[in-house]
């Protein structure tokens, strides 16, 4: 088996790499400490940074130059079958496909999930525990959500007929419900709220594992009012878009998505700002047009 015995981060980072040299160096050291230097994870680092080793998924021959961003993204998404491994390189190569894909995605900015298993990996970016966002980042997005709700919130009280048909609301109301989920989840993460929004769990400063309970609880919230889902239960649950906003916020906190759930204009997935705020997500567009059941995204324990 080919060994990667030493890997130095280049002084000049390749154009495809979206991270600073100092950050890459620190994360690389921790990664290789965890997974070793003889597998696909080590190949992912060296291939993406130098191009002098086989690519980590297909094990294609070295190209002798750092790959482009497009090549890195394609490699991370490629199926390993049909490997073009050079003689002497086993096709399974320690079978670290998941680790290799995460490294590649993080290096080029496709994901902000730091590709190590350390419970305190947030330290690499100045964050708590294993969060991919600092408290300053979290507070800024929470404040964006608050400003959006100041501009347009749900009516209180709401007409029961309106409350029972949340997928027929206009975009402003859907956006408000989404922003409420963002605000409440981030208030809890920051310690400004003592209990979790849905499960009412009493946790001081939650870590990302604590968020899995809220992610799961949001599924029933989201399915309200859909043909194959649950009846609307406004006494028990907030609106379905609240659950969507909460789940998307969790994915952002973990680094699994790179776009914050509320922008500086207080716009979430259901309302695009005319000056360039986020367009409605595919999930939001599908909800508005068809109100069909949404496939659940996996949560990570």
pLDDT tens, residue by residue, 163-191: 999 999 999 999 999 999 999 999 999 99
Give me the residue spans of the domains in the chain.
21-118, 135-290
Q: What is the pLDDT of residues 112-154, one digit of tens each?
A: 999 999 889 999 999 999 999 999 999 999 999 999 999 999 9
Q: What percent of the chain has pLDDT over 90?
A: 71
Cβ atoms of residues 103 and 115 within 8 Å: yes
Is residue 213's pLDDT more than 80? yes
Residues in CB range of 107: below 8 A, 6 or more apart = 16, 17, 18, 19, 24, 48, 49, 72
What sections of 36-170 are H helices per DSSP? 40-50, 69-77, 97-107, 135-151, 160-163
Q: Which two tokens stand for residue 79?
A: 């199926």
Q: Are the C-beta atoms of 255 and 111 separated by less than 8 Å? A: yes
- Specify the pLDDT at position 288: 45
Average pLDDT, the chain: 87
Residue 95: alpha-carbon gap to chain centroid: 24
């Amino acid at each position: 088996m080919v060994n990667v015995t030493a890997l130095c981060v280049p002084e000049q980072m390749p154009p495809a790499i979206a991270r600073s040299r100092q950050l890459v160096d620190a994360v690389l050291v921790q990664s290789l400490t965890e997974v070793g230097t003889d597998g696909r994870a080590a190949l992912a680092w060296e291939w993406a940074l130098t191009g002098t080793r086989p690519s980590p998924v297909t094990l294609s021959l070295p190209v002798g130059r750092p790959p482009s961003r497009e090549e890195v993204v394609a490699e991370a998404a490629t199926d390993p079958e049909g490997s073009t491994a050079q003689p002497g390189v086993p096709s399974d190569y320690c079978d670290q496909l998941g680790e290799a894909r995460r490294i590649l995605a993080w290096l080029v900015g496709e994901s902000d999930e730091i590709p190590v298993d350390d419970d305190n990996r947030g330290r690499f970016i100045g964050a708590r525990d294993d969060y991919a966002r600092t408290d300053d980042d979290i507070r800024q997005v929470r404040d964006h959500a608050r400003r959006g709700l100041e501009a347009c919130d749900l009516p209180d009280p709401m007409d029961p007929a309106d409350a029972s048909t949340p997928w027929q609301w206009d975009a402003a109301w859907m956006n408000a419900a989404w922003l409420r989920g963002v605000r409440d989840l981030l208030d809890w993460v920051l310690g400004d709220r003592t209990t979790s929004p849905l499960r009412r769990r009493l946790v001081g400063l939650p870590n990302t594992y604590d968020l899995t309970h809220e992610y799961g609880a949001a599924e029933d919230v989201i399915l309200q009012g859909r043909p194959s889902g649950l009846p609307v239960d406004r006494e028990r649950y907030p609106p379905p878009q609240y659950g969507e906003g909460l789940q998307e916020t969790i994915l952002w906190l973990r680094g699994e998505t790179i776009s914050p759930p509320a922008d500086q204009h207080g716009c979430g997935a259901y309302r695009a700002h005319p000056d360039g705020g986020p367009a409605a997500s595919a999930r939001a567009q599908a909800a508005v047009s068809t109100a069909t059941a949404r496939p659940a995204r996996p949560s990570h324990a």
